[in-house]
């Protein structure tokens, strides 16, 4: 499912126009991005939790040359599925 298909599904299930559903989806994504940038997590009970995870510095290997390279520490977004989502899938 891509973004436009998701907007269509939101519009159908919430009885909204596609424009309003698109605005709602964009607003939700921006709100989650803003919370993650601020270091917060976003929990949607029954669905899951979006959070920022710290990835430690490590060494890696350049596959082209075989040389060892240093990979710096970084922050990455993470998602952990909630029980309701897990149960609905499987």
Token pair recorded at residue 12 = 């159908």
**How far is residue 85 from each of residues 60, 63, 64, measured CA to CA in Å?**
35, 37, 40
Stretch 50-72: mean pLDDT = 95
pLDDT tens digit sequence for 7-44:
999 999 999 999 999 999 999 999 999 999 999 999 99
Q: Mean of the per-residue pLDDT values for the chain?
A: 95
**How far is residue 59 from each of residues 52, 65, 71, 75, 76, measured CA to CA in Å?**
22, 15, 6, 16, 17
| pLDDT at residue 90, rounded to an integer | 79
CA distance 25 to 10: 8
**pTM metric for this prediction:** 0.80
């Amino acid at each position: 499912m891509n973004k436009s298909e998701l907007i269509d599904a939101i519009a159908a299930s919430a009885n909204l126009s596609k424009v309003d559903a698109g605005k709602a989806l964009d607003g939700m994504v921006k709100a989650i991005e803003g919370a993650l940038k601020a270091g917060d997590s976003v929990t949607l009970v029954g669905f899951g939790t979006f959070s920022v995870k710290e990835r430690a510095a490590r060494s890696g290997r350049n596959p082209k040359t075989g040389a060892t390279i240093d990979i710096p520490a970084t922050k990455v977004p993470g998602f952990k599925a909630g029980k309701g989502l897990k149960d609905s899938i499987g």
